[in-house]
Amino acid sequence: MARKYTAAVTESRPEHRYVAVYPGSFDPITLGHLEIVERAARLFDEVVVAVGHHPTKPGFFSFEARVEMIEQSLAHIGNARAAHYSGLMIDFCRQIGARVIVRGLRAAGDFEPEFQMALANRELEPGVETVFLIPEPRKQFISSSLIREIASHGGPFQKFVPEPVAAAMMARYPNFYEVRRQA
Ligand code: COA
């Protein structure tokens, strides 16, 4: 027998809204990250791209600069916004009522640590589910440290990052990129 769906199922009540947190260092955000945000924004009501503090990563850009670059890079995605948190990402999820954590899986090497983190987060908060999205193959090799490395040598990193990030990176190496523009 065909199942009847009532209007209540599609009502936009707070408990029916799916807020997803996409946490990371985003130092800086890349086109690989941005593609994950775009995919997630099609699946969830709201996506919060959240800059967290990684215990062993010193940080190239400040938290504020990273959040600002993310905000500028997300301008075309209506249901995505940027934030930052300190402490556990799962506490941040609770704080904002998010029920989903989004993470990108680029290659087999990403799996083991992501698997551990997802299990740990599930132990800490069973109400929050981790969802993995796979970036398109041409973006799978991109990482923030790779971008920083190419830029530090004056290389053409710009095609891997959103425009606001390219501008901020070039400003960090003015002599390099000035020399290039004048050449
Ligand atoms: N496109 C491009 N690059 C991607 C990517 C994608 N789709 N997905 C991952 N990466 C890269 C990142 O650029 C980063 O590269 P880098 O190491 O060169 O900087 C790397 O993959 C992994 O980084 P990221 O996904 O940002 O995770 P992270 O390990 O740096 O940060 C935190 C993880 C910040 C979310 C996490 O440490 C945190 O929240 N810590 C707080 C404490 C906590 O809750 N820990 C978990 C306990 S279970």
Please state the atom number of ligand 1 nearest to the C-alpha of residue 36. 7
Could you report the per-residue pLDDT of 21-42, keeping only the tens digit for each? 999 999 999 999 999 999 999 9
* Residue 16: partners with Cβ closer than 8 Å, 6 or more residues away: none
Neighbours of 90 (CB within 10 A): 21
**DSSP for 109-138, written as a single string:** HHHHHHHHHHHHHHHH-TT-EEEEE---GG
Q: Is the pLDDT of residue 109 over 90?
A: no
CATH number at residue 129: 3.40.50.620
Which position has the token pair 């983190």? 117
The active-site residue out of 17, 53, 54, 57 is: 57
Could you report the per-residue pLDDT of 154-182, keeping only the tens digit for each? 999 999 999 999 999 999 999 889 645 54
Q: How confident is the model at residue 148 (pLDDT cuts 50, 70, 90)?
A: very high
How far, in Å, is the centroid of ligand 1 from the Cα of 124? 19
The verdict on whether 122 is a catalytic residue reads no
The verdict on whether 53 is a catalytic residue reads no
151 occurs within a structural domain: no
Give the count of domains, the chain.
1
Q: Which domain holds residue 119?
A: 16-140
For the chain, strand residue ranges (E) read 19-24, 46-51, 80-84, 100-104, 129-133
Q: How confident is the model at residue 8 (pLDDT cuts 50, 70, 90)?
A: very low
Could you report the per-residue pLDDT of 40-49, keeping only the tens digit for each? 999 999 999 9
182 occurs within a structural domain: no
Please state the atom number of ligand 1 nearest to the C-alpha of residue 90. 44
74 occurs within a structural domain: yes
82 occurs within a structural domain: yes
149 occurs within a structural domain: no
145 occurs within a structural domain: no
Q: Is the pLDDT of residue 78 over 80?
A: yes
* pTM of this structure: 0.90
Q: What angle do CA 47, 50, 53 make, to 5 degrees?
A: 160
